[in-house]
Chain A
């Protein structure tokens, strides 16, 4: 065993190719546990679900389950999910970018930058049940901010139609992890804007607006789009925050799927698999676009 590293480096010596061919299975042995683990606990369960989405109760192949996804309740669930994920992703991306530009380029004290990045690292991981609690305590019917707005400013947000358990309430809550995630991912791209480009633009007589329109935005655009679709996927798969905030009542895909896994509320297990398959398709597409955009973005960041 001990000399097996030599088989690669010492390929000049005669006979070495034979040795390396003999040892080939041993090379693979080192990664076998990982591949078996990934196969059994990641790939096979997912593939099984996808296969189930294309079968009926008798086990025959069919497209009925996929077609059944268009029934009003499920189609509405997908539509609401897509809307929530889209709005929270776009708002999160825009606000996150603005904050990243502010702390990197805005001439703020340097310690604010590291403080913002540290906080973003924490907040982007602070999703789920506790986050929902925080927002209920802040903007719930008896929340601190709700009461303050009512007693001091005379604005009763609940009589104006706002509710933390509604569409916009959910978005406001999702932004608490979407914005920090954007800041964490986009800051390196903002850092990649070279000072020389600004100086070159100024030398050529560009105004500040022209510099932004013709240099900054085109350079950041792929990173921005890529991260936005990543935020979209992030919101689309989020279960715990929505469940703790609104309970099983809100009609979005992850919550429908949660109820289906708990107690077959669709009375058709295979339709449940189709629901899960739909989620994989959407998050898969989002990640594919992320990779494509990211590849394009990297051209400027070298």
Chain B
């Protein structure tokens, strides 16, 4: 019986692996076919030399960095304060941070377009800079569930109360406590959240496209409609970026403390 179940396990695993590996191999093979009759990296060269690739990719990286900064500024003090002072508010905050998983991104951005138009009280969409800011905000909302979970898990592993009291006895103010005591202690968790946010934001299509921003996602879609081999190269580049972010998270998690010295 044991032998039989192992056979089934291998079979399931083999079929699954084929399904997951085949598209990657096929995409790679396809991306090498740009030069007629032989394999070459021409598609990759043409992607990297495309000024639009460089411009949109740079734009998305900058947006991602601002998204991460906004996310950290928003989530770290909140999660810290909830743990320290307002634990009864935790369910409310957790519920809010899970809302972006319930409300589809397309609905959120639709709400923005309706609410922040040129004639509104907060006319984000009136200027290009304002729209950039709104895109960063939208991405911070999309990344909120992941960022909050990461930071909250990180805070669980340190003794927030003792650290805070020790810092206060030494005369530290709140900014100092958060920036120089709490943040370094949950840095690994924050970085995990940051890399996950980066992976989500870098190729995001819906929000960037509907807000008409020159981001990497809409560029990808446009290339897909207009060229043959470059999309495959771009798909693999995107996969590599996602893979890179996830690997960094895994590596970081090895350095994270396992459990709290004193649960709070």
Contacts and interface: CB of A to CB of B under 8 A. Distances in A.
A128 interface: yes
Contacts of A107: 2, 5-6, 9
Interface residues on B, range: 35 or more
Contact of B104 (A105, A116, A129, A236): A236
B115 A134 contact: no
Contact of A125 (B31, B220, B246): B246
B139 to A, nearest CB: 11
A33 B74 contact: yes
Nearest to B205: A240
Contacts of B239: 122, 126, 130, 134
A38 B200 contact: no
Contact of A133 (B93, B232, B242): B232
Contact of B235 (A99, A133, A283): A133
Contacts of A233: 101-102
A143 interface: yes
Interface stretch (A67-75, A218-226, A272-280): A272-280
A31 interface: yes
Given A33-B74, A106-B8, A134 B106 contact: no
Nearest to A285: B102
A287 to B, nearest CB: 5
Contacts of B221: 129, 240, 243-244
A129 B250 contact: no
Interface string B81-101: 110111001000100101111
A284 B98 CA distance: 11
Contacts, number: 252
Interface string B25-56: 11101110000000000000000000000000
Nearest to A247: B225
B44 to A, nearest CB: 14
Given A125-B200, A240-B217, A272 B110 contact: yes
A44 B85 contact: no
A38 B96 contact: yes
Interface string B208-221: 00100000010011
B146 to A, nearest CB: 10
Given A143-B26, A280-B103, A108 B220 contact: no
Interface of B: 1-2, 5-6, 8-10, 12-13, 16, 19-20, 22-27, 29-31, 74-75, 77-78, 81-82, 84-86, 89, 93, 96, 98-115, 122, 137-138, 141, 161, 164-165, 168-169, 171, 173-174, 196, 199-200, 203-206, 210, 217, 220-221, 224-225, 231-232, 234-235, 238-239, 242-243, 246-247, 249-250
Interface of A: 1-3, 5, 27-28, 30-31, 33-35, 37-38, 40-46, 48-49, 52, 95, 98-99, 101-103, 105-108, 112, 116, 118-119, 121-123, 125-126, 128-138, 143-145, 175-176, 179-180, 208, 233, 236-237, 239-240, 243-244, 247, 254, 257-258, 261-262, 272-273, 276, 279-280, 283-284, 287
17 contacts: A3-B168, A35-B96, A49-B111, A49-B114, A106-B9, A108-B6, A108-B13, A119-B20, A121-B246, A122-B239, A125-B196, A133-B235, A179-B19, A240-B204, A244-B221, A262-B210, A276-B110
Given A125-B246, A130-B239, A280-B102, 9 more contacts: A34-B77, A35-B96, A138-B26, A239-B205, A240-B217, A244-B220, A257-B106, A261-B113, A273-B110
